[in-house]
Structure 1
């Protein structure tokens, strides 16, 4: 299970709802629901919370890392 320090968890907020986050297993979960009525879930990757909106995480993953590194070197 990924561990998040209590001090870090105390200052983190859900970027979608602005609510506090609760550590549930391998995820951080918003304490307030989003506009669909569901809590927002964020993964924890090697102990680092990935606080990207779910739709942005999908887009970033699909794009591949080479599209985020800037212009190609000549």
Structure 2
């Protein structure tokens, strides 16, 4: 993915900067704890396609 494109993309929900995770082909929003996928070199910036980064609560 082109670095210049990453510089101008922001989270569609909160407008925060995104971090490019090259290993998982995702753009990460640290504020919302969401990972947006990159498919065929195209970022999918839909909240319905985002993966939550929050850990599920572990039962006590």
TM-score (ref. length: structure 2): 0.70
Partners of 1:31 and 1:7 lie apart in 2 by 20
The list of structure 1 runs, each at least 4 consecutive aligned residues, that deviate by more than 3 angstroms after superposition, is none
Shift of residue 31, structure 1, vs aligned partner: 3.1
**Counterpart in the other structure of 2:11:** 14
**Counterpart in the other structure of 2:40:** 46
Partners of 1:43 and 1:32 lie apart in 2 by 17
Which structure dedicates a bigger proportion of its chain to helix? 1
Superposition RMSD in Å: 1.7
**Counterpart in the other structure of 1:27:** 26
Structure 1, unmatched stretches of 5+, are: 34-38, 59-74
Structure 2, unmatched stretches of 5+, are: 51-60
Which is higher, the Rg of structure 1 or of structure 2?
Answer: 1
